[in-house]
Amino acid sequence: MKKIVVLGSINIDTILNIDRLPLPGETMAMHDRSIAGGGKGANQAIAAVRAGSETSFIAKIGKDHAADFMMDTFKKDGLNIDNVTMDNEAGTGKAYILLDEHGQNSILIYGGANQTITADDIDEAASTISEADCLIAQFEVPVPAITKAFKIAKDNNVLTILNPAPAKKDIPVELLKLTDIIAPNETEAEAITDVKVVDLDSMRQAADKMHDMGVGIVLITVGSKGSFYSLEDRSIGFVDAFKVKAIDTTAAGDTFIGYLASQLHKELDNIEGAMRFANKASSITVQEKGAQNSIPYHNQVKF
């Protein structure tokens, strides 16, 4: 069984169902409101454990009822939460999701305890990282903590996957050089490279820029179209998405990352197969409302 470690965020999601996104200054009614567990880190950790991997989570929560709710969720899925610690001052992270009738979303984030993760927290989790096959991180936690974790991973021959979300410009070169696989969507790829991703040629241009920054493998997810990859030798490929009716795209990208990590061989010789399996898992996620509740289990992902 693969050992995966996820360093990342925990949020309580408030989902607001609306016809469309409001215009500036506009007041709109919403159809419904619901509460669910979320956070990119938590979503990816849950995706990895449901994909069949032995998964450990490095994260921080607040001292509140939201934390109790999330910890119960993690325990039910069998996630290792030895390195999920509590901050006594900051609250558990929160996300406010505007979900339109076409399944597209816009998300506002309150970082809370997620932003209090420090290098000391990473030191406490060093043995967990060093014994893993793969370490995953995203940008809903502080970059210095990610960099420290990736250093420990690289010193121990652990594969590193960076999901540069939310979109961020000027990622430290030090972090990029510690990254084996970077996996942005088209918006995040543009933020990193200033290349507008609209077709295969622009995907290749963006990937080349990321390679030049020090990243070995580039994956760019492009929603309902599928996912692009570019390897260290600059050879490229594209894996089509599965065509389904999307109800809610929340956590689709996180499902992709968690499932991808669970399937990849250490030699990375099965990258297309792993991407195809991850695409299939994501296609199941988008057919149900919510984040973590919509992430499938391994036995549900069938071709």
195-217 pLDDT tens trace = 999 999 999 999 999 999 999 99
* Closest to 236 in 3D by CA, of 252, 247, 220: 220
DSSP conformation letters of 197-232: --SHHHHHHHHHHHHHTT-SEEEEE-GGGEEEEE-T
Token pair 């010193």 is found at 155
User: Confidence band (pLDDT; 50, 70, 90) for 83?
Assistant: very high
CATH number, domain of 159, equals 3.40.1190.20
199 is in an annotated binding site: no
| pLDDT(250) > 90 | no
pLDDT at position 291: 79
Residue 184 carries which side chain, given as an amino acid letter? Answer: P
41 is in an annotated binding site: yes
User: Confidence band (pLDDT; 50, 70, 90) for 13?
Assistant: confident
Distance CA 44, CA 50 (A): 10
**Beta bridge mates, 97:** 15, 107
| Antiparallel, parallel or unpaired: β 11-17 and 93-99 | parallel
Tell me if 290 sits within 8 A of 248, measured CB to CB.
yes
For residue 209 the two structure tokens come to 């820029």
What is the span of the domain harbouring residue 187? 3-22+29-300
| Antiparallel, parallel or unpaired: β 159-163 and 181-182 | parallel
Mean per-residue pLDDT over the chain, rounded: 94
**What average pLDDT does range 228-242 have in this prediction?**
94
**Cis, peptide link before residue 172, omega less than 30° from 0:** no
The model's pTM is 0.92
CA angle 253, 258, 262 (to 5 degrees): 145
Measured CA to CA in angstroms, residue 174 lies from 26, 136, 143, 157 at distances of 43, 16, 11, 17
Number of domains in the chain: 1
Annotated catalytic sites, by residue?
Answer: 254
282 is in an annotated binding site: no
CA angle 10, 197, 279 (to 5 degrees): 55
212 is in an annotated binding site: no
Q: Give the tens place of pLDDT for each residue, 137-192.
A: 999 999 999 999 999 999 999 999 999 999 998 999 999 999 999 999 999 999 99
